[in-house]
Amino acid sequence: MSETMYELFPAIEPYDSGYLSVDELHQIYWEQCGNPQGVPIVFIHGGPGAGSSPGSRRFFDPKFYRIIVFDQRGAGRSRPFGEMRQNTTPLLVEDMEKLRDLLGIDQWILFGGSWGTTLGLAYAETYPQRCLGLILRGIFLCRPSEIEWFLYGTRTIYPEVWQRFADYIPKEERHDLLKAYHARVLHPDPLISIPACKEYFRFEMSMAYLTFSEESIAKIMEDEIAAIGLAKTEAHYFSHDTFLEENQLIKNAFNLKSIPGIIVHGRYDIVCPIISAYELHQVWPEAEFIIVPTGGHAGFDPAIMRELLKATEKFKTILR
């Protein structure tokens, strides 16, 4: 694949799929695509709660990779959708391990973006012996400073986007936007929860790409399932410090030293500022750190997408 030919691989369909009961409440959806005898690579979606999509399969050469895609608890096609009970980061880590065992995989590559890097790092630091490698895009370490930036600091870059987000909440509640949105997106009345979920989703998606247009946001907003899943799950997780100990992913990064890694981060990532990727690389210098000069946050941002495709191609040689 030449430098000018890094494009998504053609759309493919799963050759296998199903549901894994991870406890008495949750069943997670999973699927496999590509080469059944290939190198296993698992796509870890973002959010939390955004779910996967058919495009999730297309970052990987289907002739080389055994591609595993799954939806985390409460997200996408997993059941029950939008369920926040028994939904924590440690439980998601164990879900991944149960899925690996179900599929008879000894080791796999982890491929995740944004929240997918959070969960990928948490899994790799818990089960480093199960990881062939990590490809991580848009590092999110889920520290209070990062959540504070997302909810308030982004107004310095996207003032009009933030103002719309804040104005949805009554003035007397705007001092704590997370609490205010949490009360609404998790409200039992869908007439209250769904519009709030869409507003929250719009806020995040409006900052995800380097170039913003009302037309592109309108297209993204058609995915109501992603809007509901992301808003509910993020509000739930952020309200509980994402169920991680303080600075846990940095403190436990010593467990990553033997794992090949590629970190891809856009210089102009507003949702997850590059400082988090930089600080991760300081404690995991063995990983290759790629700064994308014209990159934003989203995995489908063209400049970011090209680097991710390069990374999946590069791992073909790393693993030989």
Average pLDDT over residues 200-228: 88
The verdict on 220 and 283 lying in the same domain is: no
Distance CA 95, CA 118 (A): 15
Q: What is the pLDDT of residues 75-86, one digit of tens each?
A: 999 999 999 999
Distance CA 182, CA 234 (A): 9
State what percent of residues in the chain have pLDDT above 90.
Answer: 92
The verdict on 235 and 258 lying in the same domain is: no
pLDDT of 1 > 90? The answer is no
Q: Which of 244, 246, 254, 248 is nearest to 287 (CA)?
A: 254
- Residues 6+ positions from 138 with CB-CB distance below 8 Å: 46, 113, 114, 117, 264, 265, 266, 269, 271, 272, 277, 297, 298, 299, 304
Distance CA 56, CA 45 (A): 8
The verdict on 210 and 167 lying in the same domain is: yes
Q: Please say which residue of 207, 226, 241 terminates a domain.
A: 241
The verdict on 232 and 248 lying in the same domain is: no
SS3 category, 208 = coil
Average pLDDT over residues 228-252: 97
C-beta atoms surrounding 194 within 10 Å: 17
User: What is the model's pTM?
Assistant: 0.96
Structure token pair of residue 4: 């000018």
Q: What is the pLDDT of residues 10-60, one digit of tens each?
A: 999 999 999 999 999 999 999 999 999 999 999 999 999 999 999 999 999
Q: Please say which residue of 213, 241, 269 terminates a domain.
A: 241
State what percent of residues in the chain have pLDDT above 70.
Answer: 98
Number of domains in the chain: 2
C-beta atoms surrounding 199 within 10 Å: 19
Catalytic residues: 114, 269, 297
C-beta atoms surrounding 58 within 10 Å: 20
Average pLDDT over residues 294-314: 96
Maximum separation of any 2 CA atoms in the chain, in Å: 59
SS3 category, 113 = strand
Domain that holds residue 204: 145-241
Residue 47 · residue 113 · CB < 8 Å:
no
DSSP β-bridge partners for residue 26:
none
Q: Please say which residue of 183, 214, 241 terminates a domain.
A: 241
